[in-house]
Each structure stands twice: as C-alpha cells, then as structure tokens.
Structure 1
Amino acid sequence: MARWRCGARLPVAAVAVLAVISTVTAAGPRATGAAAAESGPDRPTIRYTEYGIPHIIASDWEGLGTGYGYAAAKDNICTLAQTYLMVNAQLSRYLGPDGRASPGEHQNTTTNLNSDIYFQRINDNRVVERLLDQPAPNGPEPAVKEAIRGYVQGYNRYLAETGVGNITDPACRGAAWVRPITELDVYRHAHAEIIMGTADALLDGEVNAVPPGASASATAPAASPEQTARKIRDAMAAARRTSMGSNALAVGSQGVSQGTGMMLANPHFPWQGKNRMWQSQLTIPGRINVTGASLLGFPAVNIGHNDNVAWSHTVATVAPFGLFDVQVDPLDPTSYLVDGAWQKMTSQQVSVDVLNKDGSVGRVTRTLWATRYGPVTSSVQGIALPWVVSAHAVRDVNMDNLRALNTWFHLDQATDVHDVVNTLETTEGVPFFNTVASDRKGNALYADIQATPNITDEHAQSCLTATGQLLFNQSLRLPNVPPVSVFDGKRSACDWPDDPNAVAPGLLDPHKQPRLIRSDYAGNANDSAWLPNPEQPLTFPRVMGDMAAPRSLRTQELLLTAQNRIDGTDGLPGRGFTPANMRQLLFADNSRAADLALDATVTACQNTLFGLVVVDGNLVNISEACPVLAAWKSHKYTSDSRGSWLFENFWAYLQNGQAIEKLPWRVGFDAHDPVHTPNSLDAGNDVVRNSLARAVLALRNAGVALDAPLSSIQNVTRNGEKIPIHGSIHELGVLNVVTPAVVDGKVDIVFGSSFIQQVRFTADGPPEAYSLLAYSQSANPNSPHYADQTRLFSAGQWVTERYTEEQIAASPVLEVKVLS
C-alpha cells in the first residue's frame, strides 16, 4: 500500500480500507473513489488505536473540529465543563465561593469567587468578543473559526448522545453545570489559557484592590524599594519552582545517527485540571496531517509533528505583564497624576452569583478600578503593593491576544524551521513560551519569538522606578525569574510604545527577539534564551531574560546530554542520537546535582565527628546516611534507586530557595564555562553537614528509611492501584521532572512530564515517532484510558506512534466512529 504523506493525494486503496472499516462499525454512506482522495471521508471519522489515541480525519476544518470536540468530550467532559464554568464566571454559582480555582499555570491558587470576579470583568468588557470582530492576524483566521464551530458541534453531540445523567465520570455525572457550549465559550477558554501567565501573579490583587481613606497616607507603613523588590522576586521564584516548565531538544543532521533531524518534546505540565494535555492526530487529506498533543479544548496540535517539522514549547523567561506606579492624590486616591495633570480612575461594578451555604443563590458585587495603563492591583504574587502614595496598574501583553490560535494552526502546517520562524514573527501569538523545532532538512531551531512587551533596554532605563530597577536588572534577579518592569506612570511616555514592525500595539519588534538555527542541536529547559547551544550564546533585549548568568542544573543536564551523545562520550555505543538512545537518556533520570555534589556530601558525612550534628536544637546521628549515599553510585532517580530520596531532601535543605550559584561551591560560576560551573561542593562547609542532618531528621520523623527505594515513596494511586513514578524535581537537574504533592488528600504529581514525544526524520519516508502521555488520555476513573499510559510511564516504556494510514489500519484494537 502506498504511503500517504501530507500534501499528496490519498491513495484509493487507503480510502477503500477506511471505507470497509467504517461500513463494519457504523451505518451510513461510504467515502470512495476520487472525491474521497481529494477531500477525505464525507463525514468526520475518528479512528481509535492503542491507548485510546484518536486519529481524526475529515474533508474540511469544520469536520475536523467536530471529530476533535466529540473525542475530547468523550475522554474529559468533566474537566472541560468545569473550565467553561470558570471562564463564564460561574464557579461560585454552582460550586460555592470558597472553593479553589486554577485560572493560571498553578493549581488552586485563588478562590472561586476571586476567579469569577476576574473573568466577569473580562466578560463584561467584551474583551473576547472585540477580538473576534478583528480581522486576522489579530482575530481568528477562517480555518480557526471553522474548526471551533465544528468543535462545538462535536462536544454538544457527545453530550446529547450520552446525557448528563449518564456521564460515567462521577466528577460531574448529573451536575447542573454540565451544559451544551457555544463558540464564545471556546474562545473564552482559549483567551484564559493565553493570559494565564499573568493571572496567577496578579488576579487576587486586581479583584481586591480598594482605595484608601483620605488619611491612609499618614498611617500606612512604607516598605523600601529594595524590600519590596526582594519580596516580589522571592515570591516569583518560589512560584516558578512549582510551576509549569519543559525540556525541548532539537537535533540537526550533524547530531543524528541515520537520519536528518530529531526532536524531543518533554513539557512539564499539570497532571490535573484544565491544563492537562490530550493527544490526537488531525488529518484533512491534501491539506494537513499533524499529530501530537494540545491543551484540552483546542482543535489543533500545540506540540507535535507533521510530515516535515516537529516542534515543542518551553516556558520562557519573559514577564507577560508590566506594572505602572501611578502617584495618587492623597485627598482623592482614585485620581492619579499623568504629565502634570490629574486624571480620574475608572470604576466598574462587577457582580457574580454565589451559592450560599443554605442552598440559596446570592449576589456579590465588587468595585474594580483601572487607569489608562490597565487595572489597579494591590499585590503581585501575594506581595502587597499598598495603595497609599501611589497605586500600581497592570498592563498584560496578552489581554488582547487571540493570535495564538492562528499561530498553532500555522505551526501544524509548517514545512521547515524557516516556516516556523515566519509563523512566529507574523502572528506574535505565542503567549509565554519558547519554541524549539527540527525539520526533515536537518535544521535545529530555537526561537524565543512571542508576545513580548515593547520594552527596549533604553526605554527601561528611562522609565523604571527604584523598585523596577531592582526587579528588572540582573543584579537582584534569580535565574528563571522573569524581569518584571515597574514603570513611572506619571509620564505617559513611559507606556509601552507601538512598534511599526510588530503585529499589535505595545509589542516588541519580533525581529529583535532571539532565534538560532544550527545543524547540531539547540535546546531549552526554561532558562533564558542566552544559551540554547553553548557554542553560540545569544543576545537580546533585557525584557526577555538574563545573559551571561548561571544556568539551572536542568539546563546543564540537557546541554551536556546533547553534546556528550553527539560526541559519543556518554558511555553509550556510537555517536549521535537514535530513537532508542534518546528515549533511554530521558528516562535515565540522571541528577546533575548528584554528579556535582554527591561525593562531597559523602565526604562531609564521613568526616563528621562521631556522626553527631546539632541542628535546630536536635542532636542528630547522621552516620547511617554515609553508606546509603555512598552506595547510590548511579545518581539516578529510577523507581528502584535507594538513597535518592535522602539526597533529594538533603538538596532541598541545602538550596533552601537560593540560586544555584549561592551554594558553597569551591569553584564559582564562570560565564565562559556556564555548563560546568559552579562546581566542587565544599565538604568542609557547615551548611553541607547541617543540611544532611536536617534531611536525616525529616525522614526519620516521617518514618521513612534512609535507604527506602524511590518506588515506596513517590507513586500515584489510580483506582486503588499504586503506580511508582520515576524522576525528580527540577532543582536536582533531572530532565524527567515530576513534582509530587498532596492533591485531594492523597499524593499525586501536580506538575511534571506530561505529553512526551520523540521524532526522527529521514531523507524520505514518514517520520518515526514515539510518544507517551504520562497521566493517560482521560481524567475519568471509569475510562479504560485513565491509567494505561501511566503504567507505561512507570515502566519507562513508550507508545510506538501510528501516523500513516497503513499504520492506523494495522492497529489490532482499531475502533472507528463515523459522525453523521
């Protein structure tokens, strides 16, 4: 049977196979002959293969969206329905005001009531509707509108066929808040995802900002600029450590064994809630054939590959918002000074329905305030910004962004990495992500081209306040913490200027944003754009992150893994990447922190007199820890590793939220050797011994043996089955990141490896790809695909991708659903 490739006609034989399968499994007319070869089946068709992965084929965008909407609802209707509840500001109406909401990157960061007030303001202001009225690129392109129209039809069809009372997921079975959706619901959800990089830091402050009384300025305590800046920095750093992240590695022709290019996508996304990813393949014969994963509810692929390009995203170090410090009138604090004249803030009454404890429904109204720059906020990342002598207003670079939908539709159809760059530049829709890609031609791309505030270095230095100088400039910042700007709002010239080369007002010229194309490799692990490849450091405006600064241990691990494999110095056979060794290296779970510091930690332990350490008023005998750590020679966080959990606890106490270069190293950071420095932990430093003592004490108090295997501690429970989870936290420099925490009273993974995909291109033939959705396709505990891939993830196994029509038809578990 001939291969079907994107851009080619669908072979009649392949259509015939599909038609026969459809006839057996569903009643109705078949797609046959030349017409089907041009346009695909006359009805949207979902082919399910192993692990419930849907391969959706249709003759047009609307049909493709219909198939996607039906299949997504079938797997995750409760998660989606609650998301639509959130963006329509109805969480408090149905679930109560005190419940916890997750409007941003993090889990349960605010109350249902605060979330509702936030989204109701957006809805009252018709933000999304106004964007929908704009022509492309600022409004959705025709293909996007058609796909979303179809998505709504597919979602609603599944709900109508099933009935709310017959939903098998107990999370929403029979719930009054599960209802048919509209296209506006879907666009509101898309917009909520695009602005989530700002929501976590500023939502609570925006909905709780209240002007002071006339005498407040005389009594309110004032923090120094340095105190405020340090508190905000530390709070953002803490949030960043427990937030979404990713690794992505693109390998070009010089780094691949028997191929032209390879791609490793390893996003670290939430395992629960609206930011779960979901896998699918989307095909319109002759127009698009793309496979990968997307955030739930988007009829496109966000991370994946087509016939010629594979790509992924990583969370970038651009702050998608900026603050403006506006001086207020002490006798009228809702008036503020601009260019020597007083202006009045605007007030807005925002009301939402609230479910009372007695079951009745009440109404809560708040007054929200805004300036010419944007909404007033009373805090950022939980750190108070008192509204006294001045107030702080927020400008969000993504509030007017629906362009991201166009971005992903174009990425799904990209032909090479140059096409990827063109898409990023002409849409400027990526909200807070880097893009890493490889292509069939042998190119590896890193690009940090996204919706970025138009803050040049010159503009920043002219307009930053004292607090802003400390937050924005590198001297106070921590690696991975975005440079937040606080500008002087008294001068209108300090607003973000419009650039004629940018797609929308207030955006940075995309041509000033960093990118790198090489034939060996380029990658990112959430550090700034400075070092996608150590051979070619990049420069860029400071608003996009730091330069010549220490890299995280995970970045070091990614770059070393790439270079050592290409050089053949990692102990594996041969040189260059293959599908097998790329999968093996990711799931090696090697800790860069252990490589750098384990030997010194053992030495510190062995050199402790009588093994006794006094910490925090406790006398701790650490001698038992010495042989445990010494025996952990692999440095790996595999499920059977012993000593790894002890080292993880030690490292947490040692680092204690500090930047990596602040630890007691004998060799400090060197910008000329950023992948290998700092190094050589000082075994004689008291903080090393004391941190180990605290770790030993913590494990003993928890009843955990110092040599307990990782599998006995780090696992998830699915329908009563405990599934061991390998990997570790970001700070340990492990590529396969998993972040455990207590969720709904039980241990689960809140962030970590989610959809993982590895792709190899050759000069001809279809891409060879393997994937894994770590938490499986469905959040429904009654679904057969609730934990099946989680078990694979636990065992370090991957799913061999079915991409071509022949591969799909050959699936031994093939099921076909034709939507009439």
Structure 2
Amino acid sequence: MKLRPLMITLALLTPAVSPVPAAAADGSYSATIRRTEYGIPHITAKDYGGLGFGYGYAFAQDNLCTLASWVVTLRGERSRYFGPKAESDDPVRPVANLASDVYYKSVAGSGVVRRLLARPAPVGPSDELRRLVDGYVAGYNRYLEDTGVANLPDPRCRGKAWVGPITATDMWNNLLDLDRMVSSSSLKEAIAGIAEPEGPPEDKRPQPKPAAGSNAWALGRQATRGGGGMVLADPHFPWQGIRRFYQVQLTIPGVLDVSGGSLYGTPVVQIGHNAKVAWAHTVSHAQRFTVYRLALAGGHSYLVDGRAEPMGEQEVEVALPDGTVSGHTLLTSRYGPVLAVGQTDEAAYALADANAANLRAADEWLAMARAGSLDELRTAQGTYQGMPFVHTLATDVSGTAYFADTSVVPHVTDEEAKRCAKPSPVPGLDAYVLDGSTSSCLWGRDDDAVVPGIFGPGNQPRLIRADYVANSNNTYWMTNPAKPLTGYPQAYGETGTDLEPRPRVSLDMIAQRLSGADGLGAPGFTLETLQDTVHGKRNLTFELMRDDLLKLCRTHRSSSGPGADVREACRTLRKWNGRATLDGEGAVLWREFFTRLGRPTKPGEPVFSPWRVPFDPARPLTTPSGLKSDDPAVRQALADAVRYFQSNRIPLTLTPGQAQSYSSIPIPGCTEGEGCFDRVRTGGPLGADGRYPEVNTGSSFMMAVELTKDGPRTRTVLTYSLSANPASPHHTDQTALFSRSGWVTERFTAAEIAADPHLETVTVHGGH
C-alpha cells in the first residue's frame, strides 16, 4: 500500500521536556528525531511502531545505500546486478556473488523465517519487536519515497536500479543473518558448493579478511572511586558495510530509554546503557555449530541407526545479468544442509547450526534495554537465550559486575564430543565433527533451555564480582584472575591455555589502574581515568621483549645479509616508548619485525615461536615472555624487516600516523598479534610506499559509561563516524576525533539534548 504524505516539522530549539508526539491525524506512525553534535539521532515516540518509524527514517538519511546493497544480498540478487564473479558486500567474509546468492536463496526457500514468525515469543518475535520492525521498514521507505532514488545524497547508489523499498521480510532476514554470522553465514561456499572465482596470480596471495573481536570491562564498586558501576565497550567490528554500528538513542517515555550502538539494519541497541544498567559484548570462541559425518547408503541417502534416510533436495535459481538463470540443487539432511566439501563414495558431511532458527537475539537486546537492574537484565537473558555468538559484561548503579557466556551453544557434552568424534573433512575446521550414523550423537537438551539442542543457563559460564570482570576474546576462564572459571563444557572453550597478548594487556591495564601504578593518579577508576587508560596505546609484545631485543642489538651489530645494517633500527627501537601513538617512531618498525617472527623460516616448517620463556598455565598473566635473542631466526627477522625499509627507502622512524589511515585520516594503534588493546587491522601488508592499505577493522563504537544515582555519565566515539555516505558532513567527523584520542560527551537526558547549540529537531508522521 502506498504510504501517506509525510509531515515534517523543523525547529532549532526544543524545550527541556522530552517531546512525546501525539498520534498523527493522517497515519499511525509518529516520531521526533533530534540530532545533536556529530549528527547523533535521538528518536522519541509514543509507541514501538512510531519508534521504529523514526529510527528507520533517520538511518536512511545517513546510510540508505549500505542497507539497500545488503537487501540485494539477502534477496540473492547480487549476480543479477553486479555479476556472478564479483565479490559480495559481506564485510566479514566476502565471497563470489554467485555463492552468496545461492546461499541466501536457499535460506529464503527453507521457510525458516516464515516458521519463526508464526511462533509466539520467546521463540518467535514479541509483539513489540514486530511493531519496531514494521515501523522501521515504513520509515526507511518513507524517506526513500520522499527523496527519490535519483536524488539520493549518497553517490554510491544514487539512481541505481537495485535501490528500492524494503520489506519486513528483509529486516527479519537481516536479523537472522546476524545471528548466523559466525556459523552458517561464514560457510556460504561450503553450503552452496561454489568456490572462490579464479583470478590473476597477484590475487592468489592470502588476503586478510576483517574479523570481529572486542574488548569489554564491567567495573564494580570496589574498582571505581565513585562506588557505582562502570562499563567500557570496545567492539572490534568491520569499518565497512552492514556490520558497522550506528549510534542512536531510542525513547518511549516511561517505557524505554536506551542509548548506544546499533548494528546497521537492526532496530535495537546491541551495546549500550539506560539510566541504571550498562552492558557490552565480546565475541565468544564457543562452538556455534557441529558437523555430522553421514554414512552414505547409496543414492542420495544416509544411515541413521541402521536405517536409510533420504536427503532432501532444494532447487535454487539465481538470475544473471544477461537474463538467464543459473540453477543449483542443494542437498539437506535431518541435521542441516549437506556440505559440498569432504564428500567421498562412503561419506558426506552436514552442518548443524545452533543459530539456524534463532531470531531471539533482537528481543533479548530489547528486554535488556528495558532492564532497571542487573537482576532484570539477567532475567531478560534467561527468557530469550538468543545471544548468537557473544559474551555479556554488564553492571548497574549498585556497582555489581557481571560476566556470562549466555550465547547459543550446541548441547554437546565433553563425553559425547569424545565418543562421537570423527575426522574433520576440512583441515583447521574449528568445530566438533560427530558421527551422524547414530541418534546417540544428537545434541542433548537442558530442562532450562528455551529450545532443544542448546545448553541452558545452568550450564553457562558466569561470574559476579564487586571488583571487575573483563574479556578481550579470550575464553571465560580468566574473566577475573582472582577467580578463574573452570568446570564448564569444553564447547564453551578451553581453560588453562595461552591468553594471547591482547587479553593480557587488558588485564594488566586494569591491575595497574587499581594499584595506581599506571601514573594516572590515585588507585581506582573514574570516568576520566578510564578514558585515559583505554587510549594508552600500549604494545605488550614490545614491553615483554624489549630488554632481550636491546641485548641482541648490543651483541650483533649487523646482520650478515647485504644492506641490512640494523644499528639505526636498534637506535630507533631503543628510543621508542612502546606506544602506538600517531607519532610513535619505531611502532611500525616493531610491527614489521614482530610479524616476521611468526613466519616459518623455510616452506613446510612449523611456525617459529620467538618467546624465550614459554607459556606456563600456572603463570598465565606473565608467560610467555622474553625474546630468543640468540636464535638466528630472530636476527634474520630483524634483518629482513630492516632490509625491506632500506630497499624501499622507507624511514625506519615511520609512524602509525604516516603509515595507516581511514578516509585519509591518520589512525593510531597497532595489531592484534602485537598485543594492542584498541587494535587496528589493515587491508594488507606495508607497501613499498610506506603505507598500509586502509584500516578495515578495529575499535568501532567505543563507550565509557559511569552509572551514578544522578544518572549516567558517558563518553563515546564512533571511530568511522555516523554516515557511510562520503558526501555527508558526518562521514569522518568522529574519525578525526578518534585520531586524536578524543571522545564525545553523550547527551542522554532531555535537558542535556536541549542544551546542545547544534540541535536540530524533525517530527515525522506517516502511515502504513
């Protein structure tokens, strides 16, 4: 049905009282959009439909092209518009468009979304979420209709044939795909049976793919100087595409008032706070799926308990640019899709995804946003059990710190994993491979689980403290070193393993702040010292190896290789303070040396470990440490790094500010492997021009919030800024702020919003 005319009211100032628009006379949707500095929208409505309408309208103003492109992806139509061999717009793991289209057509054809929409909450969406989604779609379409495809402000999709209205089905498919992001959706080629397209030799080098990560701290009353709770959120998500965060405040007076980061195309806040509760997430390394080995019984059938079961067949057709259709037949099993890898005459393999039918996450985030205490947040998580792949760290005004891996994990006990284990069909596959020929290897069920086949809350790792909980994508066991967590199913991750440098530096940053050893003043966290701690730019591997490196420099004045005199490099590294700041002379040189340390010295040899002191499970916070300064491989790595700089006339004092950028703005920081807290990732290695490809992953929506009895005090920065539109004034304004380690002072209350001299207010009304 055609939308009714839009009514817009503009004002430069609003009263201190939060506006609550009445229902519009010409339609059922009504919302007020107030934008403060950096374009940050604050959406207010009297009901969920209106709130979704205002959010969809505001988001379309800033990022319509990104969502429009993703809708083409979700509909399996990329080959038609962009060609079957071009790379898809998946920011986490792009594949050929044809593989992407076959996968998404198969998801749509499976009917999973239709079945979930027919279910009541908590398995199906709540009425509130349904109204949010419908309103969001109407708001997005209202903006598109009023503006017109030919007049869109973003040149990336202006006038393009693939831009059009979206539907609620598109939104539900996006929410499902988010929940499947690290499971089915990351295995599109294996499901579709389409490999990467052939390319020229120069394209055959391993290409770094953006990967999701995160840091998060929940600080309790014993760790904060004010006695309340504090949260640091530092998700490391892609800087391009649909998995970017959008900063927003969503308000229904007396019902909901939440502010934070919301992933593109979703109508809820994933990381944020209200007046009394704050939370963050980090990506968990728990199992999300298992692979079942099918014992083939001839034809398209397989054995279960000695009886043959026929495979299902799904026909998928993908439209091509020339008007023809590419047809594909996919096989399915009782476990899930049959993979196109590892098949032999005797066996095939099927994917069983614990998030295959999970739409519960959005309702869980919505319920968390309404929570008035940590207990209510925990109740929300227990009700929906929909967190797809993340830990949760949270606190409230009382100063209680909470950690839990409430994510969706297939119910495979340690005993079952051992008893049912089969060889993996794909080397390096990080998942259980189980025997599919016996029903005794099916997933189990907990009585407290909301759906069968997953672990319930009683089996989930969790910790409640008065001091702190922290995670940087390490497993749960070192959430707080004073209380190691053990005894949970290995499906949630291993214990007693190497923490890796980034989690180690995270825990050390907290320890130094609590002791006052970091030079930031009296012990304990304030909002200001939390901000300073986060932007310290420490490089832990340099700190741990510096003394041995300088010993190497004193002992070996130069390498035997031609043109590899390391004396100047040693002087540069000796002067460097170990901080990856914009002006850190030595930071890039160290990265190039350190990354060479992990490479095999010869083809076929194992990865070389440069640590002088190996990891000791009894000393997880202090090992591994040191550098094997006497090892020829270490000296060779330094010589090779120096030779690369010298042969390309790159100064050894090259700084992060000179070498890495985003949209021409210099970006500080260093990489995951180096042990950097707010890490960055670039699109490839250091070029001969002394520059890395553009930063594509790293700190994204950073939030530091202090919960007080007088309300929240919050600082944020959206590293890549609010709008992906290169023509928008908010395309890089926060990026420039992030570059100089700045923060935005959040405006949360109506009075704070009204006091902004940059305030712009728009009231929008529309119909179904």
Following the alignment from structure 1 to structure 2, what is the Cα–Cα distance between the partners of residues 422 and 624? 59
1:665-684, aligned counterparts within 5 Å? 665-684=611-630
Displacement after TM superposition at 1:318 (Å): 1.2
The answer for the alignment partner of 1:142 in structure 2 is 127
**Pick aligned residue for 2:518 from 570, 577, 581:** 570
1:168-187, aligned counterparts within 5 Å? 168-187=153-172
The answer for the alignment partner of 1:624 in structure 2 is 568
1:683-722, aligned counterparts within 5 Å? 683-717=629-663, 722=664
The unaligned stretches of length 5 or more in structure 1 are 1-20, 211-237, 380-384, 472-476
The answer for the alignment partner of 2:584 in structure 1 is 641
Displacement after TM superposition at 1:378 (Å): 3.0
1:149-160, aligned counterparts within 5 Å? 149-160=134-145
SS class of match (2:417): helix
In the alignment, is the contact (CA less than 8 A) between 2:700 and 2:718 conserved in 1? yes
Displacement after TM superposition at 1:201 (Å): 4.1
SS class of match (2:616): coil
Which range moves more in the overlay, 503-512 or 200-209?
A: 200-209
In the alignment, is the contact (CA less than 8 A) between 2:563 and 2:646 conserved in 1? no
The answer for the alignment partner of 2:501 in structure 1 is 553
Are 2:315 and 1:349 equivalent residues in the alignment?
yes
The answer for the alignment partner of 1:7 in structure 2 is none
**Pick aligned residue for 1:780 from 708, 725, 740:** 725
TM-score calculated relative to the size of structure 1: 0.85
User: After the TM superposition, which parts of structure 1 deviate over 6 Å for at least 4 consecutive aligned residues?
Assistant: 30-36, 238-241
In the alignment, is the contact (CA less than 8 A) between 1:554 and 1:731 conserved in 2? yes
In the alignment, is the contact (CA less than 8 A) between 1:259 and 1:760 conserved in 2? no
In the alignment, is the contact (CA less than 8 A) between 2:223 and 2:525 conserved in 1? yes
In the alignment, is the contact (CA less than 8 A) between 1:317 and 1:483 conserved in 2? no
In the alignment, is the contact (CA less than 8 A) between 1:612 and 1:623 conserved in 2? no
The answer for the alignment partner of 2:203 in structure 1 is none
Q: Any idea what the Cα deviations from partners look like across 1:38-86, whole Å, max 9, x if unmatched? A: xxx9930000000000001110111110110000010000000011111
In the alignment, is the contact (CA less than 8 A) between 1:318 and 1:483 conserved in 2? no
SS class of match (1:149): helix
Q: Any idea what the Cα deviations from partners look like across 1:534-584, whole Å, max 9, x if unmatched? A: 011112110011101110110001111111111212222101111111111
Are 2:386 and 1:443 equivalent residues in the alignment?
no
Are 2:741 and 1:741 equivalent residues in the alignment?
no
Following the alignment from structure 1 to structure 2, what is the Cα–Cα distance between the partners of residues 661 and 678? 16
The answer for the alignment partner of 1:804 in structure 2 is 749
SS class of match (1:44): strand
Q: Percent sequence identity over matched residues?
A: 38
The answer for the alignment partner of 1:531 in structure 2 is 478
The answer for the alignment partner of 2:418 in structure 1 is 461
Following the alignment from structure 1 to structure 2, what is the Cα–Cα distance between the partners of residues 87 and 35? 35
Displacement after TM superposition at 1:758 (Å): 0.3
SS class of match (2:564): strand
Are 2:48 and 1:61 equivalent residues in the alignment?
yes
Which range moves more in the overlay, 144-153 or 252-261?
A: 252-261
SS class of match (2:300): strand
In the alignment, is the contact (CA less than 8 A) between 1:26 and 1:818 conserved in 2? no
Following the alignment from structure 1 to structure 2, what is the Cα–Cα distance between the partners of residues 410 and 493? 36
Are 2:446 and 1:499 equivalent residues in the alignment?
yes
Displacement after TM superposition at 1:200 (Å): 5.3
Higher relative contact order (CA 8 A, sep 6+): 2
The answer for the alignment partner of 1:76 in structure 2 is 63
Displacement after TM superposition at 1:374 (Å): 1.2
Following the alignment from structure 1 to structure 2, what is the Cα–Cα distance between the partners of residues 42 and 314? 35
SS class of match (1:86): helix
Displacement after TM superposition at 1:241 (Å): 8.3
Displacement after TM superposition at 1:493 (Å): 1.6
1:303-318, aligned counterparts within 5 Å? 303-318=271-286
SS class of match (1:253): coil
Question: For residues 67 and 209 of structure 1, do their structure 2 counterparts lie closer, same or farther at Cα, with a shift above 3 Å needed?
Answer: closer
Displacement after TM superposition at 1:106 (Å): 1.6
Taking only aligned residues, the RMSD between alpha carbons, in angstroms, comes to 2.6
In the alignment, is the contact (CA less than 8 A) between 2:535 and 2:741 conserved in 1? yes
The unaligned stretches of length 5 or more in structure 2 are 1-7, 196-205, 686-690
The answer for the alignment partner of 1:5 in structure 2 is none
The answer for the alignment partner of 1:3 in structure 2 is none
Question: For residues 701 and 71 of structure 1, do their structure 2 counterparts lie closer, same or farther at Cα, with a shift above 3 Å needed?
Answer: farther
The answer for the alignment partner of 1:422 in structure 2 is 379
Displacement after TM superposition at 1:343 (Å): 2.4
Q: Any idea what the Cα deviations from partners look like across 1:106-155, whole Å, max 9, x if unmatched? A: 242x1111101001011111111111111111100011001111101110
Displacement after TM superposition at 1:425 (Å): 2.2
In the alignment, is the contact (CA less than 8 A) between 1:661 and 1:669 conserved in 2? no
Following the alignment from structure 1 to structure 2, what is the Cα–Cα distance between the partners of residues 209 and 777? 35
Displacement after TM superposition at 1:697 (Å): 2.2
Are 2:566 and 1:602 equivalent residues in the alignment?
no
Are 2:81 and 1:94 equivalent residues in the alignment?
yes
1:471-490, aligned counterparts within 5 Å? 483-490=430-437
Following the alignment from structure 1 to structure 2, what is the Cα–Cα distance between the partners of residues 48 and 130? 38
SS class of match (1:759): strand
The answer for the alignment partner of 2:92 in structure 1 is 106
Displacement after TM superposition at 1:495 (Å): 1.6
TM-score calculated relative to the size of structure 2: 0.91
Following the alignment from structure 2 to structure 1, what is the Cα–Cα distance between the partners of residues 627 and 19? 69
The answer for the alignment partner of 1:373 in structure 2 is 335
Are 2:111 and 1:126 equivalent residues in the alignment?
yes
Are 2:147 and 1:162 equivalent residues in the alignment?
yes
The answer for the alignment partner of 2:198 in structure 1 is none
In the alignment, is the contact (CA less than 8 A) between 2:9 and 2:764 conserved in 1? no
Displacement after TM superposition at 1:702 (Å): 4.0
In the alignment, is the contact (CA less than 8 A) between 1:209 and 1:377 conserved in 2? no
Following the alignment from structure 1 to structure 2, what is the Cα–Cα distance between the partners of residues 797 and 713? 20
Which range moves more in the overlay, 385-394 or 541-550?
A: 385-394
**Pick aligned residue for 1:769 from 707, 711, 714:** 714
Question: For residues 122 and 107 of structure 1, do their structure 2 counterparts lie closer, same or farther at Cα, with a shift above 3 Å needed?
Answer: closer
Question: For residues 316 and 33 of structure 1, do their structure 2 counterparts lie closer, same or farther at Cα, with a shift above 3 Å needed?
Answer: closer
Alignment-mate amino acid for residue 528 of structure 2: A
Q: Any idea what the Cα deviations from partners look like across 1:582-604, whole Å, max 9, x if unmatched? A: 11111111011111012212322
Following the alignment from structure 2 to structure 1, what is the Cα–Cα distance between the partners of residues 648 and 535? 28
Question: For residues 338 and 42 of structure 1, do their structure 2 counterparts lie closer, same or farther at Cα, with a shift above 3 Å needed?
Answer: closer
The answer for the alignment partner of 2:535 in structure 1 is 587
In the alignment, is the contact (CA less than 8 A) between 2:144 and 2:165 conserved in 1? yes
In the alignment, is the contact (CA less than 8 A) between 1:483 and 1:543 conserved in 2? no
Displacement after TM superposition at 1:792 (Å): 0.2
Displacement after TM superposition at 1:321 (Å): 1.1
1:165-314, aligned counterparts within 5 Å? 165-199=150-184, 201-208=186-193, 242-314=210-282
In the alignment, is the contact (CA less than 8 A) between 1:667 and 1:677 conserved in 2? yes
SS class of match (1:646): helix
Displacement after TM superposition at 1:239 (Å): 9.8
Following the alignment from structure 2 to structure 1, what is the Cα–Cα distance between the partners of residues 757 and 12? 15
Displacement after TM superposition at 1:742 (Å): 5.7
Alignment-mate amino acid for residue 731 of structure 2: Y
Following the alignment from structure 2 to structure 1, what is the Cα–Cα distance between the partners of residues 659 and 20? 57
Displacement after TM superposition at 1:274 (Å): 0.8
Alignment-mate amino acid for residue 167 of structure 1: L
Q: Any idea what the Cα deviations from partners look like across 1:332-387, whole Å, max 9, x if unmatched? A: 352222212232222221101111xxxx32100011112221111134xxxxx243
In the alignment, is the contact (CA less than 8 A) between 1:106 and 1:200 conserved in 2? no
Q: Any idea what the Cα deviations from partners look like across 1:406-438, whole Å, max 9, x if unmatched? A: 111111112222222222222110111111112
